[in-house]
Structure formats: structure tokens, C-alpha cells
Structure 1
Amino acid sequence: MPESLQTYEQAIEYLFGRINYERVHAEAYSTSDFKLDRMRLLLELMGNPHERIPVVHVAGTKGKGSTCSMLSSIFKACGYRCGLYISPHITAFEERFTVDGVQPSQSELVELVNRLLPTIAEMDNLPGRMQPTYFELATALAWQHFVDRKVDLAVLEVGLGGRLDSTNLCRPLVTVITNISRDHTHVLGSTLHQIAYEKAGIIKTGVPVISGVGPGEAREMIEQTSCERQAPLTLLGRDLELIERRTASQGISQIDVRTPTSLWKDVPIVLRGPHQATNATLALAVVDELRTRGWSLPDAEVKSGLQGVSWPARVEMIAQSPTVIIDAAHNWESARALVAAMREEQSHSKRILVFAATKDKDVAGILQQLLPQFDTLILTRYRDNPRGVSVEDLSGLVETMSTRPAHLAPDPLSAWTLAKRLSGPDDLIVITGSFFLVAELRETILAEANQATSCVTTDKFVATPVSASSGR
């Protein structure tokens, strides 16, 4: 255990050296590895920063990150200082905890980690597997940063499941469960009932719940848990209605929504895909719930906040000619949402898929949805995580599902280079299947687009710069 860390690189290396379940194959751990005892003690030794900040707590299989980003942008537009905690990050660790959209500086991160070192050392010496994990430390750093920045409230995205997630010691004003489908089945369970039980674990006694979970056993679990804990439940399709969604130009749409207390008209949605209308509907329900508690959230500022949302790597268009979209779809539900979003894109001469996947995901289910949508398939494996599926295994799986031949690329950069060579200016390139794939390629592609001038051709690739906030 170092006495102190001098540089940003040392701080990051120290954090990445902790047990990190984001980079461990699912078969190597189970629910016994996730316990709130460690997190509870860690926060207690820090002075319980989580008890000083009101929270909107968001879980779900798909859409929880987008909903969190919408809420954070809304609160900022309404004049509140808002902390946002998300996972995983795309490029830099500090993306996980921001205040009003601003990451802590590298020096601030070093200082935050150094302040935690004595507490970590104390816990590391305790018996009973009390050594804090990477995700637990990330959550603790977020809490400390939010206290330091004197936020008015925080929006927390659940990392895994809900019941045993490190964020679940918060004191929420309202909880949100966006939807539920199969993901992380090794930890959360193989049935929707079991997965819903884990996600319903964020429901607190007497705390209102906003749910976008559709009819079926998962919703029954949410209803049952809310009833048992006397938590008022607002259900999409019962108490909450997305009346209409109208597609406008350049990926922007408008929605009309009815909540139990309001009728919202002409609400702008800048994130691509019809699923974002549902996420925005849940966010508006949260707004109205907080209004009943005295929070000042005027209509105009709420709409302004939604107009200014930025959410990287979620059906994000990062270049044109050809159009390049990256999306961190890594489960069945997110792949379905990506396909629905693609249907609204302008027609393209050819569609090229660059795909990599993680071993413990439903890779077959994801590919079943994606393969029919593309003319050309490039399979690869990301480099920076041992959980990646080999290109040979991906190729074998594709052969059982399609007669279309696939190109194999040993790494993401090779896959991107091949995609450029195979594409023309009127084509579409979609890069998806994993956060890790997107993380390895996003900055490279943005750098190329920013360096290029309009109508400069390189390797049959015409890069027209797209602003960093465009189309997210």
C-alpha cells in the first residue's frame, strides 16, 4: 500500500489494480462476491458522505444511463448543482463522476485517491474479504467528490443489478427502474423473475418508484416489492403515458407525455432512437414527482435540459460520408434498440457492421438481431480486456446463423481500417457489441474526423467533422 500517490497515472494504476469485476469473466465470481458490508464500512470510515446528499437512483437493463444523463442535464438547466455517477467509462476513469457535466481534474483525482488510502489500508487488513473493490472505490470517490463540490443532489446509475450494488446505500428521493431483460444472468439469475428481484432491491420503504417495466413477471415483481415496502409506484402504460413521438430533422424528435400530475407537450429529444422517448418519459415523471416535493423545475428549463443532453457511445453519430455510428449495445435489449434506431436513419447504399463481444453475454441473441440489418460483417476482438470473445469463436457462431461470409480483423484498429476501405461516402458503418470495443475506437475516429476538412478523401473515406454533442 503506497503512502501517497504522486501522479495521475499512479492513481489510475492503483485503482485498476484492485479487484475489478468489469474485467473478470462472470464464471469467476457470483453473488457471494457482492456484499454491501464492505461498502457500508468504507462509507462509515469516510464519515458517511452518502447520507448528506439527496439522490435519484436508477436501475434497469437498458436505458438507465441515458435516463440518468437526461436527469442530470435537466437539474443543471434548472439551476441545481448535480452530481452524476455512471459506469463504465468510455475513455477516462473520471467520466464516472461528474458535477454539472464537468469531470474532476487529474490532480483532483489524485487528491481524492490519496485521501482514501488510509481507509483502504485499514480495510485491507481486516479479515473476511473486506478489501474494497475497484467499483466500490469508484463509488466512494464519487461520493467524496460530490460532497467536496457541494452538490444539491446526485443521480446514480446502478452498476450491476441493484440489491447488492455499491450504489444501493444511498438515500433516494425517488427510484427509477427503466426496464428489465436478461443480462448478467450468471450473477442476477436466469429468469426475468430473478433479475427483477435483484433490480427491485433498490426500492426503499416509502420512496416513490417510477417504472418503465412492461407487463409480465418482471413487472409483477416490481409491483409486489413496491407494495411490500409501501413505495408509491408510477407505472409506464398505467399511470404514465407516452402519447406521441414525432421525428424531426437531424435525429431530433419531440414527444408529448402525460404523467399523473402534468401534460407535457413538444418536449425535445436529441438522443437517437425511439427508445429514448421512453427514457425521457420516465425522466419527466421524476421531474413531476420532485415538483410535488417543492423542487423548482420549470417547464422551459426542463425542456432546455433535455435539448442539451450529451450521452456518448449510445447510437452516437461521430462521422459522416460514410455515416459512422457507435453504440455500446451489449445485451439483447440494447441490440433491439439499436436496430430500431437504425430504421430511422436515412437510406444508405451499404451497411457495414464492426462487431466484438464479451464472453458472458448473449452473443447469439445480439447477433440474431443485428445480422439481418447489415450487408457486410467485420468481426474483431478488443485488446484491453480478457473477457473478449475470439474472432474465431465469433466466426463459428456467425456460420451457424448466416451464410454471409464475415471479415476477420485481429484488433479494433484493423477492423476500423478495413471498414473504411470497404465503405463509400453513402454507406453506414456501425460499431457495436461492447463498451470495450467502443472505448478503443471512439477517440481514434473522432480524431480523424476532427483532423479532416470537409470533402477530404482518405482511403475512400470522406470525414466530415461532427460536433462532439451531435446526435447523442
Structure 2
Amino acid sequence: MKLLKRATQYTTTTFYSPTSRGYFKKFSIGSKSCFFSTSSEEPELMNFMNYLDSLKNFEKSGVPKGAGTDSDDGFDLGRMNRLMDRLGNPHSKFKTVHIAGTKGKGSTAAFLSSILRAEGYSVGCYTSPHIKTIRERMNVGRLNRPVSAKALNCLFHKIKGVLDEAIRLENGCITHFEVLTAMAFALFAQNHVDIAVIEAGLGGARDATNIISSSGLAASVITTIGEEHTAALGGSLETIAMAKSGIIKYGRPVVSAYDAGIRATINGLSMFNDRPCQSCDIIVQAERDLKLSIELLDVKLCMIGNHQLHNALTATCAALCLRDQGGYLMLSYFLSGFREEHFWRAEIFLMNG
């Protein structure tokens, strides 16, 4: 027990090696240190990476029990709201599609973003985690490319004073993910995006991304529900569904992929006294619709795996929701969006598998 306790008391420092042209982390436990290579971040991001390393990172340490539930054990969403208020509430400057679920969130976000970009919209897409570089989490503009190191570095130094003050006022409790999420919203507002596609990190109800008001929400999307991060999300499939359905806002459209967990999602909705008990506006049933959709659209998806067809359909339904709200989306742009979903996303799936 002493050894385990001591092993958790470590410090990390990120530094850049000009010789190897890459980043390394230094792990220190007492007087002992070890080094390992991290992603190939650009030198100008070194200060930003060190700043992030100084914050609590639940992606690495693990999420506390019940932290993703809408309860007293859940993350403090008020902290994120206060941070955004100090930044001028950049998330209120554009409409947002908010995506939660156990599997397929990132792929659905990528497909939807691609459809919207093919139509000519400027899109901000925020996903997590990343594989090679932290820049992968934020795509902005009309091209499907990660934010540049220069733009991210400039934004960091522009708002660093606000972040420092917020961390001080919150007694150091602001997290790695909260800072990244705040920066994504600030980046999208700075670039005057037409719409943002935001993937929830964990659950939904108490996730740092769940600060979007009903008036700012274009649609909520819930992908497949499964037993992952069970302890952090309440311990059962129903509580997981409840946590993820926390992104649903009163009177706003809901798109949901169909799976065994969807009934639990709907049951979970009825347990929120302050939320409407409603079925999903659109239900994607892969076993019924996939073959027909492939024959009609004749689309070859760049992403790898049959499950991506299901994600593509979910993204299509979300795009149709946006069209019904006044957005003009033609069939040709759906096709283009699927075909043009860039190969760096496929590469991530290959590396991850």
C-alpha cells in the first residue's frame, strides 16, 4: 500500500528535444526520474503543454466514482460556467450540435462536420481524445484540418491571464479537459464559425461541454449506449443512459442511434423531473436502413469498419435536423461529405485498433 500511495505522488514536465525534434515527458517520483517520448508537438506549444500538465487530468488518472452523474458526486459544472463567463461566453456566439454516447461519437462528429463543410459552412469540431497531437481535438474553418500550432499558441497566450485568474479563484480545481474545452469554444468564436460540432468527453450531464443553452443548441445527438466507464456513470446501463441524455435540452431536436440502450435512455429521461419526457425525434435503425442507404447513395466511406455506416447514418439524420431548421443542404453535399472525410481520421482508427 505504501508503494502504491507513493507511486501516485509524482510530477511531470514536458520539454522539447531539438535533437530528436520531438517532445518528451519527465516523470519524477522523489529523487527518481524517467523519460519517455510523447507526441511530436511543435516547439511553440511547449509552454501550453507544460501548462496543461500542471492541471488535473482525469483522462490519465481515471475518473472518480459517480463523477459523470447528475448528482452530488458529479463534476462541478458551475465551475465551467464561471470560467466561460470570465472568457465572455464564447460558446454563445454560434449554434452547436452536441454529441454524446458510448461509441461512435468522434466518427459521427467527423461525418457531420464533413457534410456541413461540403455545403460551405465554417465548422468548429471538438473531439477527444487525440492520438498524435493535441491539435487533433480542434478543427476549425472550411477545411478538415487540425488547428495550427501557431493559432493554438496565440490563443493560449491571449487568454492565459483569464485562465490563471480562474484557476486561482477556483482553488486550483480547474481541470485539463475544462481548459481544452474552454479553448475550443474560444477558438471557434474567434474564427466566427457558422456552427460547432461538440463531442462530450464523459457522460454528458456533468461533462464540461454541457454548458450550451437551449437557445444555442441546434440538436442533441446520442450514439450507441453501452457499459463503459460504468463506475463513473452510476453503475448500470440505465444510469449511463441518464448521464448521456443529460445533453438533451427542452424543446430542442434529438437524434439517437438505435440500440439496446435506447430504451434505457428514454426511461432515463423520464427520471429527470425538470426535463421533458419525450421519445427521440429520429431513430436510426441500422438493420433496417443500411442496405437501402448504401444502394441509394452509392457512397464509399473513407473511414474503416462497417460500424462507420451506422455513424454516417446518424450524422445524416443530424444534418437533416439542421436542414429542417432552415439550413439548405443538398443530397450532393451529403455524398461529398462522406467521400471527403479525410484519411487522417482513418489513420487514427487503424492505429487505435
Tell me which interval the TM-score lies in, with the shorter structure as reference length: 0.7 to 0.9
Residue number among 264, 267, 289 corresponding to 1:218 in the alignment: 264
Q: 1:337-380 CA distances to partner (integer Å, 9 max, x unpaired)?
A: xxxxxxxxxxxxxxxxxxxxxxxxxxxxxxxxxxxxxxxxxxxx
Match of 2:36?
none
Q: For CA contacts below 8 A with separation 6 or more, give which structure has more relative contact order.
A: 2
Distance 1:130 1:18, change over 3 A: closer
**Residue 72 of structure 1: which of 90, 113, 128 is its match?**
113
Q: How far has the Cα of 1:29 moved from its partner?
A: 8.4
Q: Determine if contact 1:313/1:327 at 8 Å carries over to the other structure.
A: no
Deviation of residue 49 (structure 1)?
A: 0.6
Whole-angstrom distance in 2 between the partners of 1:113 and 1:141? 7
Contact 1:62 1:178 in 2 (8 A): yes
C-alpha distance after superposition, 1:233-271 (max 9, x if no partner): 234357x9852438xxxxxxx725xxxxxxx64344332
Q: Give the aligned partner of residue 282 of structure 1.
A: 314
Q: Report deviation, 1:102.
A: 2.5
- After superposition, the Cα gap between the structure-2 partners of 1:222 and 1:236, relative to the gap in structure 1 and judged at 3 Å, is farther
State TM-score, norm by structure 2: 0.77
State how far apart, in whole Å, the 1-side matches of 2:46 and 2:116 are.
33
| Deviation for aligned residue 1:104 | 2.5
The one-letter code sitting in structure 1 at the alignment partner of 2:168 is N
Contact 2:200 2:209 in 1 (8 A): yes
Name the count of aligned residue pairs: 300
Q: Which of 62, 69, 77 lines up with 1:36 in the alignment?
A: 77
Q: 1:135 to 1:292 in 2, by over 3 A?
A: same
Match of 2:132 among 63, 82, 91: 91
TM-score normalised by the chain length of structure 1: 0.59
Counterpart-to-counterpart distance in 2, 1:117 and 1:150: 21
The one-letter code of the counterpart of 1:255 is I
State whether structure 2 residue 224 is matched by structure 1 residue 190: no
The answer to whether the Cα contact below 8 Å between 1:16 and 1:134 also exists between their aligned partners in 2 is yes
Cα distance 1:103–1:153, how it changes in 2: closer, same or farther (>3 A)? same
**Could you tell me how far 1:130 is from its partner in structure 2?**
5.9
1:167 is paired with a residue of what secondary structure?
coil
Letter in 2 for 1:88: P
Query: 1:44 Cα deviation (Å)?
Result: 0.3
Structure 1: 5+ residue stretches without partners: 1-5, 247-253, 257-263, 319-324, 329-431, 433-472
1:111 corresponding residue in structure 2: 154
Aligned counterpart in structure 2 of residue 205 of structure 1, from 250, 255, 258: 250
How far off is 1:223 after superposition?
Answer: 5.9
> SS state of the match for residue 231, structure 2?
helix
| Equivalent position of 2:294 in the other structure | 255
Name the SS for the 1:295 alignment partner.
coil
Change (3 A) 1:244 1:123: closer
Q: Which runs of 4+ in 1 moved over 4 A?
A: 225-228, 311-314
Give the unaligned 5+ runs of structure 2: 1-42
> Which residue of 2 is the match for residue 366 of structure 1?
none
1:29/1:235 Cα in 2 relative to 1: closer, same or farther (>3 Å)? closer
Match for residue 211 of structure 2 among 169, 194, 197: 169
**In the alignment, is the contact (CA less than 8 A) between 1:120 and 1:131 conserved in 2?**
no
Which amino acid is the alignment partner of residue 155 of structure 1?
V
Match of 2:62 in 1: 25
Q: Distance in 2 between matches of 1:242 and 1:159?
A: 30
Q: Is the 8 A contact 2:255 2:280 kept in 1?
A: yes
Query: How far apart, CA to CA, are the structure 2 residues paired with 1:84 and 1:161?
Result: 18
Whole-angstrom distance in 2 between the partners of 1:226 and 1:291: 29
Aligned CA distance change for structure 1 residues 245 and 197 (closer, same or farther; 3 Å): same
